[in-house]
Amino acid sequence: MPNLASVLKDEIRRLARKEAREQVASLRSASAQYRRDIAALKRANKALSGKVAHLEAALRKGKAAAANVENGHQVRFAPQWVSSHRQKLGLSQADYGMLVGVSPMTIYNWEKGKSRPQAKQLAAWGTVKAMGKRQALRELEAMA
């Protein structure tokens, strides 16, 4: 026959475990809920960071577009336009580069589409693009 003390100890141990389980169960559910909340906040943070990056890029594009405005009109750029205008004026890449204020290699890269003009260069190119053949030749003579 078991000892009364050992039976009492076993019963106390069983009740203590049961009580501890009940206490821990609420903590477990709270912990799981906190993890879900943290995961949701991380997802929301990532989505908002993406939106901010997208808006910053759009803002930078908008500033670049605003910088490209000359005389109330936006100066548009396409590589084939540089080549066709230079050929229309009958100028070499070096002469055309002098008019725009860039190197002949820059004109070559623009024509091939390897690079695009910066805001100041785009404004200068816009003024050259508006020139006719005679005016371009006069400008070149004045520079030389």
At 70, give phi and psi (nearest 5°).
-135, 130
Tokens standing for 107? 């004109």
From 88, 64, 86, 87, select the one nearest 76 (Cα to Cα).
64
| Domain spanning 73-143, CATH class | mainly alpha
Indicate the domain borders of the chain: 1-67, 73-143
Question: What would the mean pLDDT of 7-30 be, rounded to a whole number?
Answer: 91
> Quick one: pLDDT at residue 139?
87
CB 116 within 8 A of CB 77: yes
Could you tell me where the beta strands, DSSP code E, fall in 12-80?
A: 69-70, 73-74
Tokens standing for 46? 């990532």
From 139, 142, 134, 108, select the one nearest 124 (Cα to Cα).
139
pLDDT tens digit sequence for 33-87: 999 999 999 999 999 999 999 998 888 876 655 555 545 567 788 889 999 999 9
Whether the CA torsion 124, 129, 130, 134 is positive or negative: it is positive
Question: What would the mean pLDDT of 91-100 be, rounded to a whole number?
Answer: 92
Question: What would the mean pLDDT of 111-136 be, rounded to a whole number?
Answer: 89
Q: Tell me which of 120 and 48 has the higher pLDDT.
A: 48
